[in-house]
Structure 1
Amino acid sequence: MFSVLLQEAFRFLYYKLLRKAIKGLVALSEDGCSPVSVQQMAYVAGMGFGLMSGAFSMINLLADALGPGTIGIHGDSQLYFLTSALPSLTQQ
């Protein structure tokens, strides 16, 4: 329950941040309207989060592959890298 409340609180704070950014963009624009919509800013933020999440998932997987105790060599499952790639694929 705490994690849901925390997520919703950050969602509200992010909404307030987007509104503040729009006011700043309107103040800087010459014609008095925002050059970027709220939907475009939300899309860019979501895309950035998805790309960073995928990058971190891939970096963690590559770190496991390069270490001295590589998984799958001595009796472990040979499908570790395939099953690790599937959650990274679904995040995009």
Structure 2
Amino acid sequence: MNGDEQLLNGRVYGREHDDPNPGPLPHRTYAVLVGGPLDGLLLDIEGWRPEEIDDGVALITELSRWPGGRALYDPRPGEPRTPGPGVSCRLYYSGDVP
């Protein structure tokens, strides 16, 4: 099993931990969240334009510095992306906001 396949065994952001199928779907495209409170989760980015990924994301989480706040994740400039489906890119934790 390669690294991407191992990552695909993870849970997708926004799905409940007790969801009968919290993992990724084989036909969707995902970003791996690296670091911070959501480390290791997959973010479904199916249908996102490259510019939307470049802008980064602010994801609601009870695990941030401010419960109910947002954890910020951004791509690293120049890091390659693989066309989906599967894991396309990584987004790195950059802080929390209320």
Which is higher, the Rg of structure 1 or of structure 2? 1
Same fold, TM-score > 0.5, yes or no: no
- Compute the TM-score of the two structures, normalised by the length of structure 2: 0.21
- Determine which structure has the larger strand proportion and give its number: 2
- Determine which structure has the larger helix proportion and give its number: 1
- Compute the TM-score of the two structures, normalised by the length of structure 1: 0.22
